[in-house]
């Protein structure tokens, strides 16, 4: 029982991280109708920024706050730049060209990191000294609870922003029909840029929590994690914000449970499980758990 | 006038061609050439450079003391970038330079690639550090380091006999034959002795979070945890183990060497108490080791690792074999030299070593422990 609860909490915190990253994928897909495969690499860039900033300034609470803000702003600007340079010129091109460009951007970021920092893993200084609490003999890491809480808050704020504000309504309008939105006086390019800025800032928040839990960074950090988060987004229904949350948390919990409770021989397979879930979901319900069916009118 | 000029030019050109040959003859005819191949550039460059630096120190020491029966040694080291085809080219080049014995290759894949070429030439070959089983299989090839399977056996015996552990938990990298190879022989030997492997938790090259592995171990009644994999992943495992307060003793394979490069400053306490198998510990109080460490540090600025010690020992193994075979010039009887290899015992930096009929080393294992952020020798 203790093991079960401890695994459940591990799964929840891992799943929350997936959810946070899946939110970014989902939002960009829902509004700009494109898969930003460089999303996972933005996390990697974020962790490197944190690594350099904390290395230079130390990890006192004040410096940590400054470093985290610098990092999140940096990620947001990076998202903005990527969109302007790589995706905007392709606004009228086929979705396939945009997809391939996204993969290109992903490789570009990885190789830039390789060039600047080398291939070696680096240790990010420990910055959250939270420790653990014990309930009925079960050790609960406070960091896990923090990750869960931050993800829930971010999800609620994002839902309010999209459903209750003018900018949010503009995003929804662009998502429904770019042409019509433009005719209604919505600045489509600015709206898509804003989507990328918010999505990348979310990746920045993800980077802050990711490096607190797994304090290692290399050029390929985040790329596999990003793909699993993408699977979570599809599982929950890509384009849906609560869907990304549910998909991420479910995949996290299932992965942790499989790692701990399956027999040794089978637990080898837990890594591939996220992808298996993705395939099964696409076969049974292509729109995902919470995805809406979209009727194409001719 | 034109003719005279042409003659003059042709004489000059002829001289240019002939002079280097004369020079070449003069200097190398009386030296024994030890050839060596390893990566000096690329991702595995630290291994090749360490071996090269270690060998050079041994060669200089031996030459300063008068050489082998009066014959001086010369080291010719070539870069293979840890690449099989470059290693073959390097081998041919070294043969052209008159190589008498080969120390190499430093890494496993190039070693396997040149095996047959070396067998054809018949010269003595010792690899300092290629641990893959296939890297030294011919009658004329020997190995100084432990093989991967031998490590598994040694660690099983150490844990069961010396430390008295009976229940092992193993975390291993399913993507790496180094890790699975050690696990196989460890499991076989540990169960044979009477112990049980209570859990085997696999991870892959892309694993970032080891929380689940730690939870899985905590769910068993294991006495200790075996970590047969490399230091970069081990650092990640130790982060999770510390967050989840894993209280079991940890024992690693020789891939742990250098883990403190990843865990510096206050992070070093994550590795506190970790024991791992290693052929060489720079802080070993042994006089020979300390002298080597001092020379190495003076020349290269940092302390030597196990690869440097392996390279150093290889040169002394060759010296012992040549003295046994009565070598007095660089005209070497290869068969007698190979036969002598089976008769010698050399007390080197990496322990006292002799060779079995397959050319594998017979030597005791050393274990190091991390105490107060430093590598310390363990009596084992």
- Predicted confidence band of residue B82 (pLDDT cuts 50, 70, 90): confident
- For residue B255, the model assigns a pLDDT of 84
Fill in the DSSP letter of residue A133.
E
CB contact under 8 A, B245 and A213: no
Do residues B103 and B128 lie in contact, with contact meaning Cβ atoms separated by under 8 Å? yes
Q: Residue B27: its pLDDT value, please? A: 42
Best mutation target among B169, B196, B208, B234 (most A Cβ atoms within 10 Å) is B208
Cβ B262–A123 below 8 Å, yes or no?
A: yes
CA distance B201 to chain A (A): 6
The total number of structural domains in chain A stands at 1
Q: Which of the four CATH numbers 3.40.120.10, 3.40.50.2300, 3.10.129.10, 3.40.50.620 does domain B149-278 have? A: 3.40.50.2300
3-state secondary structure chain B: CHHHHHHHHHHHHHHHHHHHHHHHHHHHCCCEEEEEEECCCCCCHHHHHHHHHHHHHHHHHHHHCCCECCECEEEEEEECCCCHHHHHHHHHHHHHCCCCEEEECCCHHHHHHHHHHHHHHCCEEEECCCCCHHHHCCCCEEECCCCHHHHHHHHHHHHHHHCCCCEEEEEEECCCHHHHHHHHHHHHHHHHHCCEEEEEEEECCCCCCCHHHHHHHHCCCCCEEEECCCHHHHHHHHHHHHHCCCCCCEEECHHHCCHHHCCCHHHHHHHCCCEEEECCCCCCCCHHHHHHHHHHHHHHCCCCCHHHHHHHHHHHHHHHHHHHCCCCCCCCCHHHHHHHHCCCCEEECCEEEEECCCCCEECCCEEEEEECCEEEEECC
Q: What is the pLDDT of residues B16-61, one digit of tens each?
A: 555 555 444 444 458 999 999 999 987 778 889 999 999 999 999 9
Query: Is A292 contained in some domain?
Result: no
Domain range B30-146+286-363, CATH class: alpha beta
The domain locations on chain B are: 30-146+286-363, 149-278
Among B209, B213, B232, beta carbon nearest to A121: B232
CA distance B269 to chain A (A): 13
Q: Does the pLDDT at position A297 exceed 60?
A: no
Q: Is A228 helix (H, G, I), strand (E, B) or coil?
A: helix
pLDDT higher at B364 or B76 = B76
Answer yes or no: is A60 within a domain: yes
Domain that holds residue A90: 2-284
- pLDDT tens digit sequence for A96-148: 898 899 999 999 999 999 999 987 788 999 888 888 889 888 889 999 999 99
Any CB–CB contact under 8 A between A10 and chain B?
yes
pLDDT band at A262; cut points 50, 70, 90? confident
**Topology match between the domains B30-146+286-363 and B149-278:** yes
- Lowest mean pLDDT across A13-17, A67-71, B173-177, B220-224: B173-177
- Mean pLDDT, to the nearest integer, of A277-297? 76
pTM: 0.81
Residue A294 counted as domain residue: no
> What is residue B296's predicted lDDT score, i.e. its pLDDT?
95
Closest CA to B128 of B104, B109, B110, B150: B104
> Is the confidence at residue B79, as pLDDT, over 90?
yes
Q: Phi and psi for A148 in degrees, rounded to 5?
A: -60, -45
The string of pLDDT tens digits covering residues A20-50 is 999 998 888 888 888 888 999 999 999 999 9
A221 touches chain B (CB under 8 A): yes
Note whether residue A171 is domain-resident.
yes
Q: Kindly state the average pLDDT of the residues A166-176.
A: 90
- CATH code (residue A223): 1.10.3470
């Amino acid at each position: 029982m203790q093991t079960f609860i401890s695994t459940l909490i591990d799964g929840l915190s891992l799943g929350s991280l997936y959810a946070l990253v899946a939110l970014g994928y989902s939002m960009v897909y829902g509004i700009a109708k494109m898969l930003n495969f460089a999303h996972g690499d933005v996390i990697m860039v974020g962790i490197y920024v944190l690594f350099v900033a904390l290395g230079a300034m130390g990890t006192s609470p004040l410096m940590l706050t400054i470093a985290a803000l610098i990092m999140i702003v940096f990620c947001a600007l990076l998202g903005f730049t990527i969109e302007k340079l790589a995706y905007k010129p392709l606004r009228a091109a086929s979705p396939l060209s945009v997809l391939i460009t996204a993969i290109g951007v992903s490789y570009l970021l990885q190789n830039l990191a390789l060039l600047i920092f080398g291939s070696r893993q680096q240790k990010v200084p420990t910055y959250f000294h939270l420790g653990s609490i014990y309930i009925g003999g079960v050790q609960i890491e406070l960091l896990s609870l923090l990750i869960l809480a931050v993800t829930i808050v971010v999800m609620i704020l994002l839902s309010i922003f999209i459903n209750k504000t003018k900018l949010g309504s503009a995003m929804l309008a662009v998502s429904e029909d770019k042409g019509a939105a433009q005719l209604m006086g919505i600045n489509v390019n600015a709206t898509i840029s804003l989507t990328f800025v918010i999505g990348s800032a979310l990746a920045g928040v993800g980077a802050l929590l990711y490096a607190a839990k797994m304090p290692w960074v290399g050029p390929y950090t985040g790329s596999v994690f990003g793909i699993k988060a993408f699977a979570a987004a599809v599982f929950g229904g890509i384009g849906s914000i609560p869907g990304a949350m549910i998909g991420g948390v479910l995949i996290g919990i299932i992965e942790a449970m499989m790692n701990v409770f399956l027999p040794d021989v089978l637990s080898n397979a837990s890594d591939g499980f996220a992808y298996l879930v993705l395939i099964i979901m696409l076969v049974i319900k292509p729109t995902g758990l919470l995805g809406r069916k979209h009727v194409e009118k001719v | 006038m034109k003719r005279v000029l042409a003659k003059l030019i042709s004489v000059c050109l002829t001289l240019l061609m002939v002079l280097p040959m004369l020079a070449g003859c003069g200097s190398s005819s009386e030296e024994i050439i030890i050839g060596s191949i390893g990566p000096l550039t690329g991702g595995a460059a630290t291994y090749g450079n360490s071996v090269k630096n270690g060998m050079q120190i041994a060669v200089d020491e031996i030459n300063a003391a008068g050489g082998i029966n009066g014959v001086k040694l010369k080291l010719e080291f070539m870069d293979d970038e840890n690449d099989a085809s470059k290693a073959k080219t390097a081998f041919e080049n070294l043969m052209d330079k008159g190589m008498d014995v080969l120390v190499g290759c430093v890494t496993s894949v190039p070693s396997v690639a040149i095996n047959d070429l070396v067998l054809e030439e018949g010269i003595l070959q010792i690899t300092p550090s290629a641990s893959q089983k296939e890297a030294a299989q011919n009658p004329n090839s020997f190995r100084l380091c432990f093989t991967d399977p031998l490590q598994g056996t040694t660690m099983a015996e150490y844990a069961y006999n010396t430390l008295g552990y009976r229940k092992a938990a193993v975390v291993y990298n399913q993507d790496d034959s180094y890790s699975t190879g050690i696990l196989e022989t460890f499991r076989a030997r540990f169960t044979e002795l009477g112990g049980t492997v209570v859990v085997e938790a696999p991870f892959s090259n892309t694993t970032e979070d080891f929380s689940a592995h730690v939870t899985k171990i905590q769910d068993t009644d294991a006495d200790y945890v075996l970590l047969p994999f490399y230091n970069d992943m081990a650092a990640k495992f130790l982060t999770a183990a510390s967050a989840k307060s894993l209280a079991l003793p940890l024992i690693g394979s020789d891939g742990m060497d250098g883990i403190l490069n990843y865990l510096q400053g206050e992070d070093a306490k994550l590795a506190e108490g970790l024991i791992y198998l290693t052929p060489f510990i720079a802080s070993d109080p042994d006089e020979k080791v300390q002298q080597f460490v001092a020379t190495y540090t003076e020349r290269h600025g940092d302390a030597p690792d196990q690869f440097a010690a392996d390279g150093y020992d290889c040169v002394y193994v060759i010296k012992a074999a040549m003295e046994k075979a009565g070598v007095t010039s660089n005209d070497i009887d290869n068969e007698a030299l190979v036969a002598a290899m089976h008769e010698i015992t050399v007390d080197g930096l990496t322990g006292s070593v002799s060779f079995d009929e397959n050319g594998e080393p017979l030597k005791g294992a050393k274990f190091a422990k991390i105490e107060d952020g430093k590598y310390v020798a363990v009596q084992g």
